[in-house]
Chains A and B, each alone.
Chain A
Amino acid sequence: MSYTRRDFLKATLSATTMLSFTSLAPDLLVRAAGTDIARQDDRDTVLVIVQMSGGNDGLNTVVPYADDEYARNRPTLRLHPEDIHKINSYLGFHPRMEAFSRLYKEGHLCIVQGIGYPNSDRSHDIAMRHWHTAKPENPNCQTGWLGRAADSVWHTNQKDMPAIFVGPIVQPFGMRAEHVIIPSIQSPDDLTIDPAPGDSQQKQAVKSFREDKDNSLLNHLRDCTVNAHTNSQRIEVAAKATNKAEYPTFRLAETLRTVAQLIRADVGIRIFFTELGGGGIGGFDNHANQLGNHCALLGQLSESLAAFIHDLKKDKLLDRILVMTISEFGRTVKENGRRGTGHGVAAPIFIAGGKLKGGLVGSHPSLTDLDNGAMKFHTDFRRVYSTVLDKWLGFESQAILDRQFQSLDILNV
Chain B
Amino acid sequence: MAVHFEKLRDPGWAWAAYEPDVERPWNLARAGHLYRRAAFGAGWQQLQQALSDGPQRTIDKLLRPQSEAAQFNRTYDEYETATGSMDQLRAWWLRRMIQTPHPLLEKMTLFWHSHFATNAAEVKNARLMQQHVRLLRSQALGSFRTLLEGISQDPAVLLWLGAEANRKARPNENLARAIIENFTLGPDRCTEDDIRDTARAFTGWFILRSNLRYIPREHDENEKQILGRKGNFTRDDVLRIILEQPATSRRIVRKLYRWLISETDQPDETLISPLAESFADDYNVRNLVEKMLRSNLFFSPAAYRRRIKCPAEFAIGIVKAMEGSISTTQLANDLADLGQNLYNPPTIKGWAGGKHWINSTAMVARQNLASALLRGSDQYGNKLNPWTVAQRHRYDTPESARQFLLDLFLQSDLDSDVHNVLLKTHRRQNEDLGVLIRSFAYAIITLPEFQLA
Do A and B assemble together? yes
Which A residues fall within an 8 A CB radius of B? 139-140, 142-143, 147, 156-161, 164, 176-181, 183-184, 190-194, 196-202, 204-205, 207-210, 215-218, 220-222, 224-225, 227-228, 231-232, 267-268
Given contacts A179-B352, A221-B448, contact A160 B443 (CB under 8 A): no
Cβ contacts B317-339/A at 8 Å (1 or 0 each): 00000000000000000000111
Mostly helix, strand, loop or mixed at chain A's interface?
A: loop
Q: Would B451 and A221 count as touching, CB distance under 8 A? A: yes
Inside 8 A of A200's CB, which chain B residues have their CB? 425
Q: Would A156 and B364 count as touching, CB distance under 8 A? A: no
The CA of A196 and the CA of B420, in the complex, are separated in Å by 21
Inside 8 A of A183's CB, which chain B residues have their CB? 337, 361-362, 365
Given contacts A156-B356, A218-B449, A224-B362, contact A142 B348 (CB under 8 A): yes
Inside 8 A of B451's CB, which chain A residues have their CB? 221
Interface centre among B174, B368, B435 (most CB of A within 10 A): B368
Can you list 10 A-B contacts with CB-CB less than 8 angstroms, sorted by A residue number? Answer: A156-B354, A157-B355, A180-B359, A181-B357, A202-B367, A216-B264, A218-B449, A225-B363, A225-B448, A227-B363
Q: Is B220 an interface residue (CB 8 A)?
A: no
* B353, chain A: closest CB distance, angstroms: 10
CB closest residue in chain A, given B370 = A196
| Segment touching A, from B58-66, B197-205, B300-308 | B300-308
Q: Would A202 and B443 count as touching, CB distance under 8 A? A: yes
CB closest residue in chain A, given B345 = A142
Q: Is B227 an interface residue (CB 8 A)?
A: no
Task: Among A184, A202, A210, A231, point to the contact of B417 (Cβ < 8 A).
Answer: A210
Q: Would B363 and A218 count as touching, CB distance under 8 A? A: no
Task: Among A147, A178, A196, A210, point to the contact of B442 (Cβ < 8 A).
Answer: A196
Inside 8 A of B446's CB, which chain A residues have their CB? 198, 202, 225
Q: Would B442 and A217 count as touching, CB distance under 8 A? A: no
The 10 closest A-B pairs by CB, nearest first: A198-B439, A181-B339, A221-B448, A198-B442, A196-B371, A228-B363, A227-B360, A197-B439, A201-B443, A208-B417
Given A142-B348, A215-B305: 13 more A-B contacts, CB < 8 Å: A139-B162, A147-B346, A156-B354, A156-B356, A193-B368, A196-B367, A199-B371, A205-B421, A205-B443, A220-B358, A225-B448, A227-B360, A228-B361
Inside 8 A of A139's CB, which chain B residues have their CB? 162
Inside 8 A of A142's CB, which chain B residues have their CB? 119, 346-348
The CA of A215 and the CA of B302, in the complex, are separated in Å by 10
Q: Is B422 an interface residue (CB 8 A)?
A: yes
Q: Would A177 and B355 count as touching, CB distance under 8 A? A: no
Q: Would A197 and B435 count as touching, CB distance under 8 A? A: yes
Task: Among B308, B417, B443, point to the contact of A217 (Cβ < 8 A).
Answer: B308
Given contacts A201-B443, A205-B421, A210-B417, contact A221 B361 (CB under 8 A): no
Inside 8 A of A156's CB, which chain B residues have their CB? 354-356
Q: Would A218 and B305 count as touching, CB distance under 8 A? A: yes
* B186, chain A: closest CB distance, angstroms: 15
Q: Would B364 and A231 count as touching, CB distance under 8 A? A: yes
CB closest residue in chain B, given A224 = B363
Given contacts A178-B347, A193-B367, contact A201 B440 (CB under 8 A): yes
CB closest residue in chain A, given B440 = A198
Inside 8 A of A198's CB, which chain B residues have their CB? 438-443, 446
Q: Is B238 an interface residue (CB 8 A)?
A: no
Q: Would A197 and B448 count as touching, CB distance under 8 A? A: no
Cβ contacts B365-388/A at 8 Å (1 or 0 each): 101101110110000000000000
CB closest residue in chain A, given B439 = A198
